[in-house]
Amino acid sequence: MAGEWILTLTAQTPTNIAVIKYWGKRDESLILPVNDSISVTLDPGHLCTTTTVAVSPAFEQDRMWLNGKEISLSGDRFQSCLREIRARATDVENKEKGIKISKKDWEKLHLHISSFNNFPTAAGLASSAAGLACLVFALGKLMNVQEDHSQLSAIARQGSGSACRSLYGGFVKWIMGKEENGSDSLAVQLADEKHWDELVIIIAVVSSRQKETSSTSGMRESVETSLLLQHRAKEVVPKRILKMEEAIQNRDFASFAALACADSNQFHAVCLDTSPPIFYMNDTSHRIINCVEKWNRSEEAPQVAYTFDAGPNAVLIARNRKAASLLIQRLLYYFPPNPETDMNSYVLGDKSILKDAGIQGIDDVEALPPPPEIKDKIPAQKNRGEVSYFICTRPGRGPVVLSDESQALIDPKTGLPK
């Protein structure tokens, strides 16, 4: 270890959306949950975190930048992740650059970390899950940690619970575990993203002026005050987990949708059962639920599942592309954009769904007929401006290393964000 070299590594990690929710901890500092949870990983092409980690003998302290702004690494959660990953570092040799780092050197070497979300951090789209998972994954690769993704997930869990599920693509279960030290509280992959690739996911980012209670404090209050949470964790979730695993294995959309919707609704019922009550969904969220419920009930089989996390945004999972194009027509009918909004910035992600729906511009939105399930009734109310934008995506892959140096977020010469 000589000279002032800088070694970097860049990784990309997806976000995930829970279809059986994690809500409540039995251990606050180790982040151990009161029940198992199951999630779908979202396509990183549309929603992901990219993180570059750099190490150099010239760095004087650990530093981190998020979307270009320096943030503090002093929090317990960051410190747990850094400590756990450093403890597992092994020898690293980069012959091309003439760098050799031995296992014991890692304790003294400092890190620079730069992270970027390809979606608005403030939109409430599980940015901490992708962010912490990416930090742990990238550091694990840089430090030549030999542990598999499940063991890395148990480290990411200590950064943010839901982050552990972002270590895999496809369909993922976070097993709550029994051990007091949390060693068996980790994520496993139930099926990869190709297993059920007809699914299409549309996220409605709902406009909200309200500052929401953070998941961390919200779930703490629920654990302290909600009897429904105790019942849910003991009696409801264990059975639901088994049924959800079966639905995913069999690609049984009717069961998948029924379980996902019921579990989202129960999570929000637990929030209402908390004292003082927590309201994450707003009137727009409720209108979206009504739209989906009405449509599903008018069909022979459900077309769309909905799920809401700790905020008003709706995550809608359509059974296939056909259902997704009928869904986007309904969503645009009920929630047209404000005048002057360009469709290109109103529907993001996989725009081919819009094309399938025959919508090119705002005129096509204005010309949409009312959905047949409300025909002959009072014309439906339009709720212009209630949705900020939609993102069309699908189930996606797990974390990857980006070997193209042009994608690095840290300048390999200065060690600072580009």
> Residues in the site for ligand DP6, rule: CB under 6 A?
18, 21-23, 31, 37, 128, 160-162, 215-216, 309-310
What is the nearest approach in angstroms of ligand DP6 to the Cβ of residue 273? 15
Q: Give the residue with the Cβ less far from ligand DP6, 31 or 326.
A: 31
What is the nearest approach in angstroms of ligand DP6 to the Cβ of residue 231? 18
Q: Give the residue with the Cβ less far from ligand DP6, 9 or 172.
A: 172
Q: Give the residue with the Cβ less far from ligand DP6, 22 or 346.
A: 22
Count of helix runs (H) and strand runs (E) in the chain? 12, 19
What is the nearest approach in angstroms of ligand DP6 to the Cβ of residue 162? 3
Q: Give the residue with the Cβ less far from ligand DP6, 129 or 247.
A: 129
Q: Give the residue with the Cβ less far from ligand DP6, 225 or 341.
A: 225
Alpha helix stretches (DSSP H) within 75-199: 76-87, 127-142, 149-156
d(CA 87, CA 200): 40
Q: Give the residue with the Cβ less far from ligand DP6, 143 or 271.
A: 271
What is the nearest approach in angstroms of ligand DP6 to the Cβ of residue 37? 5
Q: Give the residue with the Cβ less far from ligand DP6, 56 or 160.
A: 160
Residue showing the smallest CB distance to ligand DP6 in the complex: 161
Q: Give the residue with the Cβ less far from ligand DP6, 214 or 298.
A: 214
Residue environment code for 314-352, b if the CB has 16+ CB neighbours within 10 A, otherwise e: bbbbbbebebbbbbbbbbbbbbbbeeebebeebbbbbee
Joined tokens for residue 268 = 């929000």
196 contact partners, CB below 8 Å, separation of at least 6: 171, 248, 251, 395
Q: 417: cis peptide before it, omega within 30°?
A: no
DSSP 30: T
Sign of CA dihedral 136, 139, 141, 144: negative
Q: Partners of 117 in the beta sheet? A: 49
What is the nearest approach in angstroms of ligand DP6 to the Cβ of residue 38? 9
Amino acid at 107: E
Q: Is 28 helix (H, G, I), strand (E, B) or coil?
A: coil
Q: Is 256 helix (H, G, I), strand (E, B) or coil?
A: helix
What is the nearest approach in angstroms of ligand DP6 to the Cβ of residue 128? 5
Joined tokens for residue 138 = 């990238």
Amino acid at 381: Q
What is the nearest approach in angstroms of ligand DP6 to the Cβ of residue 2? 40
Q: Give the residue with the Cβ less far from ligand DP6, 44 or 131.
A: 131
Q: In what order do the strands lie in the sheet with 16-20?
A: 16-20, 37-41, 171-175, 186-191
Q: Is 383 helix (H, G, I), strand (E, B) or coil?
A: coil
Angle at CA of residue 265, ends 354 and 34, nearest 5°: 120
What is the nearest approach in angstroms of ligand DP6 to the Cβ of residue 346? 25
What is the nearest approach in angstroms of ligand DP6 to the Cβ of residue 322? 29
Count CB atoms within 10 A of the CB of residue 37.
26
